[in-house]
Amino acid sequence: MGLFEQIINAIDNPQQQGNNEQLGEILNTIEQLSNNTGTSRPSTIQSALGILGSYVRSALQQKQADSGNEEVQAIVNQYGGVNANPEAVDTLFSPMLQQQLAQAIAERTGINAEMVQQLLPLLVPLVLNLLRTGTNVQAPHTGENPVLNTFVDADRDGDVDLADAVKTAFRFLGR
């Protein structure tokens, strides 16, 4: 099952945190970022999120290997949101990796690398917030989050594209 299907299942499941309001806040923030950065289209920020998603996924896979599912869920719970949080970026990425990430996004989207550096504290929490939709409301600290598990793809046999999930979310909410 794909990432967006897991998000929709989480929205439909009262045992999971996800809801239309949470998804709407994420999409509103993406639209605001598009307007504020002068990219004029949410698809540019969606592309940036897709690239960022690969880096977040790798970082979370490493955290999972080192500390387990509960630690990864704790990161998602603590840093997922729609507000800027530089600590979220620092928790997942070394300063050198942050620069590499900003350069990779800049090269593929046309957004200035310095602007990308400024956007990372907003974009990383958005990705984590999207992953938080599958959090179990009864036991939020367990590693039983199907959205997060699909994203991390513990068995590493599939490719999860965050940009496609965001694009589908826009269509789902009629935007």
Q: Where are the beta strands (DSSP E) in the chain?
A: none
pLDDT for 60 equals 95
DSSP 8-state code for residue 141: T
CA dihedral in degrees (102, 44, 84, 98; nearest 10)? -10
Which pLDDT tens digits describe the chain residue by residue (175 residues)?
578 888 889 999 999 999 989 988 988 898 888 888 776 666 788 889 989 998 999 999 999 999 999 999 999 999 999 999 999 999 999 999 999 999 999 999 988 999 999 999 999 999 999 999 999 999 888 878 999 988 887 445 444 566 667 777 777 766 6
pTM, to two decimals:
0.87
Interatomic CA distance for residues 156 and 143, integer angstroms: 17
pLDDT attached to residue 35: 83
CB 166 within 8 Å of CB 46: yes
Of 2, 26, 47, nearest to 132 (Cα)?
26
Provide the CB-side half-sphere exposure for 29 (13 A, CA). Answer: 22
Domain boundaries, the chain: 3-172
Cβ atoms of 163 and 42 closer than 8 Å: no
The predicted structure's pLDDT at residue 164: 67
Residue of 162, 174, 175 lying closest to 57 (CA atoms): 162
List C-alpha distances in Å: 61 to 50, 64, 92, 108, 159.
16, 5, 11, 24, 13
